[in-house]
Chains A and B, each alone.
Chain A
Amino acid sequence: MIEKMNSVRHDYLRHDKKFPHVWCPGCGNGIVLGSLIRAIAKLGLEKDELVLASGIGCSGRMPVYVDFNTLHTTHGRALTFATGIKLAKPALTVITVMGDGDATAIGGNHFIHAARRNIDLTAIIINNQIYGMTGGQYSPTTPYGSFASTAAWGNIEHAFPIAELAVTAGASFVARGTVYHAAMLDGLLARGIVKKGFSVIEVMSNCHTQYGRRNQMNDPVTMMRYFNENAVSVDRAAKMSEEEMGDRFTIGVLADVDKPNYLEEYQKIRERAQQE
């Protein structure tokens, strides 16, 4: 079983690319990549049936390393490219990977409208609570009071809870995981990928280089411990008071609903138009 799991990831990596990959030692992006590959292998999807599109940021480097149909697009626009691909070739399984800045700052409108439209895409949002690539500027998910290169006296803004935002905006499937809970993440990603309609999987991930370093979590191990100690399952959180929850966050499936998705509706309109 373990042997199988291991050889599988190598089947999906691009061997002519430079390895080790470009991310910092211990960066959560690598853990998410491993999890995504295992989820895809578990679903038995062919490489040629898949598209992985990213925006810009450290997380945006992910498609470079995998042997699917891949696109490395512009900052914040992974979902717009993905929407085009899905409409042109509905048979493809289209996955996007975005950073927190990518998806909720510059790409914030694309994100909520993709959810509202309920288009059949999977959005993986790697939330490291910071602009990693550009030097640790605070992002829309940097917690209130924490430090960033542009918040030397502590952040005075409040963070978007990405998963909850996606639920409100209308996504069919919404889940949150962490890089510490990697085995659980495999399952969440697999469920998101098979779900018809817009799926969002927010992954709490460590950027110890730009975020942790300024917030007393200088290394990946400390950050992983933080995720372990502060993640509360959806079921347990339901029984906890707001005070008990404090700054902790929920993990698990936050929404899984069946409703008409954009592609089905669009197809119906086409059929009706052709009959008239």
Chain B
Amino acid sequence: MSENLKNGEPDNDPCQDVIMGKTADNDCRQVTGQEKEKGSRLFSQTIFYDWCKACGICIAFCPQQVFSRNEQGKPVVAQPDACVGCGFCEIHCPDFAITITECQSGAEQHKKTVESTEAGEANGE
């Protein structure tokens, strides 16, 4: 095991964001009407740098070359729109450091917000 990790202090906890639903949606580019008609789907890739150990698995195996490598060896999202959402990077990242989220169109995102607000109200929140 690598010594620096053994002694490393716990970093801030990205899971909290995931649980709270504050994932990649924010950085998600909205699907335009034109793209919707073509049926193309867009995905966004979120990397938790605090957990990433620069193993290179995601960079090497992504079938779409979505990632490039920064000077620390960690992935940088270089071509987000090329992502086909195969999930390979996510299930092969040994450190749970990548999340793939499907981007939604503006209308869908609005609908989701309304629904979750209504559900919240129904639960008395």
Q: Please, which residues of chain B bring their CB within 8 A of the CB of A3?
A: 23, 99, 101-102
Are the CB atoms of A24 and B11 closer together than 8 Å?
Answer: no
Q: A13-B15, A29-B94, A58-B1 are in contact. Are A5 and B87 (CB under 8 A)?
A: yes
Most chain A beta-carbon neighbours within 10 Å: one of B53, B56, B85: B53
In B91-121, the 8 Å CB interface with A consists of: 91-97, 99-102
Q: A3-B23, A19-B51, A34-B96 are in contact. Are A10 and B18 (CB under 8 A)?
A: yes
Are the CB atoms of A221 and B1 closer together than 8 Å?
Answer: no
Main SS class of interface, B: loop
Q: Please, which residues of chain B bring their CB within 8 A of the CB of A26?
A: 53, 55-57, 94
Tell me, yes or no, whether A257 is within 8 Å of chain B by CB.
no
Once the chains are docked, how many angstroms separate the CA of A59 from the CA of B85?
Answer: 30
Q: Which of A5, A20, A182 contacts B51 (CB 8 A)?
A: A20
B14 CB to nearest A CB, Å: 9
Q: Which of A5, A15, A25, A220 contacts B13 (CB 8 A)?
A: A15
B60 CB to nearest A CB, Å: 4
Tell me, yes or no, whether B5 is within 8 Å of chain A by CB.
yes
Tell me, yes or no, whether A109 is within 8 Å of chain B by CB.
no
Interface size class of A (residues with CB under 8 A): 35 or more
Are the CB atoms of B15 and A224 closer together than 8 Å?
Answer: no
Are the CB atoms of A20 and B53 closer together than 8 Å?
Answer: yes
Tell me, yes or no, whether B70 is within 8 Å of chain A by CB.
no
Are the CB atoms of B18 and A31 closer together than 8 Å?
Answer: no
Tell me, yes or no, whether B8 is within 8 Å of chain A by CB.
yes
Are the CB atoms of B61 and A221 closer together than 8 Å?
Answer: yes
Tell me, yes or no, whether A27 is within 8 Å of chain B by CB.
yes
Once the chains are docked, how many angstroms separate the CA of A133 from the CA of B52?
Answer: 21
Tell me, yes or no, whether B50 is within 8 Å of chain A by CB.
yes
Q: Please, which residues of chain B bring their CB within 8 A of the CB of A23?
A: 1, 94
Are the CB atoms of A7 and B53 closer together than 8 Å?
Answer: no
Are the CB atoms of A15 and B1 closer together than 8 Å?
Answer: no
Once the chains are docked, how many angstroms separate the CA of A21 from the CA of B18?
Answer: 18
A211 CB to nearest B CB, Å: 14
Tell me, yes or no, whether A2 is within 8 Å of chain B by CB.
yes
Q: Which residue of A lies closest to B91 (CB)?
A: A182
Are the CB atoms of A34 and B55 closer together than 8 Å?
Answer: no
Are the CB atoms of A220 and B55 closer together than 8 Å?
Answer: yes
Are the CB atoms of A21 and B15 closer together than 8 Å?
Answer: no
Tell me, yes or no, whether B39 is within 8 Å of chain A by CB.
no
In A82-132, the 8 Å CB interface with B consists of: none
Tell me, yes or no, whether A236 is within 8 Å of chain B by CB.
no
Are the CB atoms of B56 and A10 closer together than 8 Å?
Answer: no
A66 CB to nearest B CB, Å: 12
Are the CB atoms of A10 and B19 closer together than 8 Å?
Answer: yes
Tell me, yes or no, whether B81 is within 8 Å of chain A by CB.
no
In A163-184, the 8 Å CB interface with B consists of: 179-180, 182-183
Interface membership of chain B positions 36-75, coded 1 if the CB is closer than 8 angstroms to chain A and 0 otherwise: 0000000100000011111111001100000000000000
Most chain B beta-carbon neighbours within 10 Å: one of A5, A7, A26, A133: A26
Once the chains are docked, how many angstroms separate the CA of A24 from the CA of B5?
Answer: 8
A208 CB to nearest B CB, Å: 9
Q: A9-B96, A19-B10, A20-B51 are in contact. Are A35 and B19 (CB under 8 A)?
A: no
Q: Please, which residues of chain A bring their CB within 8 A of the CB of B50?
A: 20
B84 CB to nearest A CB, Å: 11
With A20-B97, A27-B94 already in contact, 14 other A-B pairs whose C-beta atoms are closer than 8 Å: A2-B87, A2-B102, A3-B101, A6-B90, A6-B101, A10-B18, A19-B11, A21-B5, A24-B53, A26-B55, A29-B94, A30-B95, A31-B92, A34-B91
